[in-house]
Amino acid sequence: MRGKPIAVSSIMVAAALAASGCSVSDNNPNLIAGKQLFVSKCGSCHTLARAGSKGNVGPNLDEAFQRAKVDGLGDDAIRGVVKKQIEYPSRPGYAGQGIMPAKLVTGDDAANIAAYVAASVGKKGQDTGLLATAVKAPGSGKPAVAAGGVLKIDADPSGQLAYTETKASAPAGPITIELDNTSGVPHNIAIAGVGKSPVIPKGKSVFKATLKPGTYTYFCEVPGHEAAGMKGTLTVK
Ligand code: HEC
């Protein structure tokens, strides 16, 4: 069911409205915190254009709410649907049931995410002002250079599907390639024909290899991550 749009049902909406308990953030949401949390907790599974997220495990949220918007559903109702989904993700009988963990966030965090999603779904263009800089652009780190037989490459710490470094260089010969992942999103690092490290959600993931001169692509093997941009170029001299 990867990335398929699913219409948000009016039953869900009604249920969400009936159950909406209000917290401070419902009335005065912090959209910047909402965007940062969305990227770190939700973006690896969901595409949302405004957040720059490209996950494809769950539905594309711009598409999922398109129908609802056409039907005249306002921001408040969409916020209710998103909060409800965070609390009770799995819809019985649905193909993707059980994949989205329940209560990834709660309270104000959930309210802030819901407000950001409602303000963003289906919107053309880019976030402006403080929202534009709330999440650092992926891949903006300095090129990685091997030192002392180790090449260190980081997974984007904010949860975006990217490495911090999109370019790396190393001398030919034996090397340890070390991915540091602080994001909580499962990742690894692999080079076709050379080797790969284990997929882990947090910590250091390492493999040893012997490099020959040439140009290689390093990438994350978790489905969808390379396609979303989690890759870079390694030059070996
Ligand atoms: C591990 C992957 C994963 C993560 C992380 C995740 N989701 Fe989901 N999400 C899914 C899947 C799969 C579905 C479809 C099945 C379902 O409804 O449980 C889904 C469904 C949804 C829907 C319903 C869309 C529709 O078509 O009706 C919304 C809204 C949603 N997610 C929002 C979020 C938010 C907000 C977060 C972060 C707090 C989040 N998701 C985190 C995988 C994920």
CATH number at residue 48: 1.10.760.10
118 lines ligand 1 (CB under 6 A): no
67 lines ligand 1 (CB under 6 A): no
62-95 b/e with 16+ CB inside 10 Å = b?
bbbbbbbbeeebeeebbbbbbbbbbeebeeeeee
5 found inside a domain: no
139 found inside a domain: no
Residues 127 and 149 in one domain: no
Cα–Cα distances (Å) from 148 to 98, 113, 173, 175, 195, in that order, read: 44, 43, 12, 9, 19
Average pLDDT over residues 164-168: 97
Residues 74 and 188 in one domain: no
Q: Which amino acid would we find at residue 85?
A: Q
Residues 87 and 176 in one domain: no
User: How many whole angstroms separate alpha carbon 96 and alpha carbon 90?
Assistant: 8
Domain boundary among 84, 103, 132: 132
Residues 118 and 214 in one domain: no
Q: Evaluate if residue 17 carries a pLDDT over 80.
A: no
Domain containing residue 115: 10-132
Give the mean pLDDT of the chain. Answer: 90
Residues 101 and 33 in one domain: yes
- pLDDT given at position 25: 64
- Residue 225 belongs to domain with CATH number: 2.60.40.420
Using DSSP's 3-state secondary structure scheme, residue 22 falls into: coil
Q: Evaluate if residue 10 carries a pLDDT over 90.
A: no
**Alpha carbon 39 to chain centroid distance?**
5
Q: Which amino acid would we find at residue 75?
A: D
Burial of 128 (0-12, 13-18, 19+ CB in 10 A): exposed
Name the residue among 104, 111, 85 with its Cα closest to residue 24: 111
Residues 14 and 91 in one domain: yes
Average pLDDT over residues 146-173: 97
Query: Domain tally for the chain?
Result: 2
User: Among 6, 100, 158, which is best to mutate for testing ligand 1, by the most ligand atoms less than 8 A from CB?
Assistant: 100
Domain boundary among 109, 132, 155: 132
User: How many whole angstroms separate alpha carbon 22 and alpha carbon 34?
Assistant: 16
222 lines ligand 1 (CB under 6 A): no
For ligand 1, the distance from its centroid to the CA atom of residue 83, given in whole angstroms, is: 11
**Alpha carbon 35 to chain centroid distance?**
11
Q: pTM of the entire structure? A: 0.86
- The sign of the torsion formed by the CA atoms of 186, 42, 112, 88 equals negative
